[in-house]
């Protein structure tokens, strides 16, 4: 039995930046000068995206379980 490898990417679409997990946009980067600036705003229920402390990667959770 093979474990399925999930794909997680950061995608730019014009002025918007998204985290895409297995083809689904799960979070959107908050706009500058708003309360959501420098955060990831969830677009789908149960998803959480945080910047890692190193500032060079992200942490992705689904229903409290780390998936990336």
pLDDT, tens digit, 9 for 90 and up, residues 9-53: 999 999 999 999 999 999 999 999 999 999 999 999 999 999 988
Beta strands (DSSP E) in 1-66 are 8-13, 16-21, 24-29, 40-42, 47-51, 58-62, 65-66
pLDDT tier, 68 (very low <50, low <70, confident <90, very high otherwise): confident
Q: Name the band, by pLDDT with cuts 50, 70 and 90, for residue 4.
A: confident
The C-alpha atoms of residue 26 and residue 41 are separated, in whole angstroms, by 9
């Amino acid at each position: 039995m093979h474990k399925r490898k999930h794909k997680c990417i950061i995608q730019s679409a014009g002025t918007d930046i998204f985290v895409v997990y297995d083809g689904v946009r799960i979070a959107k980067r908050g706009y500058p000068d708003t309360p959501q600036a420098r955060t990831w705003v969830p677009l789908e229920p149960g998803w959480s995206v945080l910047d890692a402390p190193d500032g060079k990667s992200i942490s992705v959770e689904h229903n409290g379980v780390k998936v990336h």
